[in-house]
Amino acid sequence: MSLTERFLKYVTFNTQSAEETKVTPSTPGQMVFARYLRDELQSIGLEDITLDEHGYLFATLPANTDQPLPVIGFIAHLDTSPDMSGEQVSPRIVHAYDGGDIVLSEDENIVLSPRQFPELLAHKGEDLVVTNGKTLLGADDKAGVAEIVTAMEYLLQHPELKHGKIRVGFNPDEEIGLGAHLFDVEKFGCDYAYTMDGGEVGELEYENFNAASAVVTFKGRNVHPGYAKNKMINSVRIANRFCSLLPADETPEHTEGYEGFYHLTSFMGEVEETRVAYIIRDHDLARFEARKQTMERLTRFINDEYGEGTATLQLHDQYYNMRRQIEPVMHIVDKAVAAMQTVGVTPHVKAIRGGTDGAQLSFKGLPCPNIFAGGLNFHGRYEFVPVQSMEKAVKVIVQLSVTH
């Protein structure tokens, strides 16, 4: 099976994760896909294949040399984002993209255009896998899964390429922040690993956001509006006041690079009770802590103004910047840079404005930088991946595997 055929098969599995289920994997479709992959890994000749009850799939490509080499791993996640439907994904290939508009859905007038997505023009002449405009594509991270499997198959078919022991790992629920939650690092048994979960060709990342979630619940008092003076407490208005006290220019739509933010992800309520949810992000640990302290300070401010118990804050750290775990072993980043250069890919080392399983795995003792998988516009109907980008990712994996 070719890389493209493999990817097109993988995206037909509905593997959206879901935060509300509180089980692992969070959705049954992820286990269906994991079982399919288990059988495929066996058919191409990998060994020591295990799939546990939580959807963590591990396998081994044995060393074909007696030379003592580190055990390296390649990791990708099975799930797709809950942000948009992943059911009945119907991809198609736009061959030799001409640089113009791509009509995804004629009946709904959904168009992938370089006017809104100028990154398309960097892939003029390439073969783009796109959606039908009604679902996401799932290149995040089924492109990574397909690349790893294809690279392992290539190495099995070319025993003249000498390599040490290689482990591959596929896990559920990355998109809801739980991909590394039950990942057994000791069982995986690697000196270091790489997640294949980045975007554009050449991306290489060993820094990510420090991340926290914040949920603030506001209590009110409902009284008939005709008789409400000095009696009603409108929790919706109080919540709105709280939100207005946060810096207006420190939001995702106003920040880039190393700039952190407060991101309001939901606002639900009525007079009696309103609940707002934020995610808090910053690469710098001190600024990250200061952002959390701001949430605490504003909660106290609201309670001072409207009465104790009006606002209740639930603050939860999600993951941390893996840079401090990677810097002591920077040679693994250098290896990735060299591998890219060897296969003709220009490395673009950048900080992730997000997180990966590799961040949490790094703190669990498995240093794990992130490498490009090639997809763009993740989590929505405009997602696409160039076939040529996936092919380059396969070459990087192979080169990393045979680099001594």
Which DSSP letter does residue 277 get?
A: E
What does residue 311 show for φ and ψ, rounded to 5 degrees? -120, 135
List 23's β-bridge partners, or say none: none
SS3 149: helix
Contact indicator for 141, 197 with CB cutoff of 8 Å: yes
d(CA 201, CA 222): 55
Largest CA distance in the chain: 85
d(CA 143, CA 131): 14
Catalytic position from the list 127, 141, 174, 282: 174
Which amino acid does the sequence have at 97?
Y
d(CA 369, CA 206): 5
Candidates 264, 56, 59; CA nearest to 173 is: 56
**Torsion-angle region of 154 (φ positive above 0: left; ψ -120 to 50: alpha; else: beta):** alpha
Catalytic position from the list 79, 153, 175, 391: 79
Cβ–Cβ contacts within 10 Å for residue 262, how many? 21
SS3 25: coil
d(CA 301, CA 216): 13
Task: Tell me the CB-side half-sphere exposure of residue 246, using CA atoms within 13 A.
Answer: 24
Neighbouring residues of 360: CB distance < 8 A, sequence distance ≥ 6:
179, 180, 181, 183, 319
282 part of the active site: no
Task: Tell me the CB-side half-sphere exposure of residue 196, using CA atoms within 13 A.
Answer: 34
- Number of helices followed by number of strands (H, E) in the chain: 10, 17
d(CA 334, CA 183): 26
Could you give the dihedral angle defined by the CA atoms of residues 227, 232, 234 and 237, in that order, rounded to the nearest 10 degrees? 80
126 part of the active site: no
d(CA 128, CA 141): 16
Positions marked active-site = 79, 174
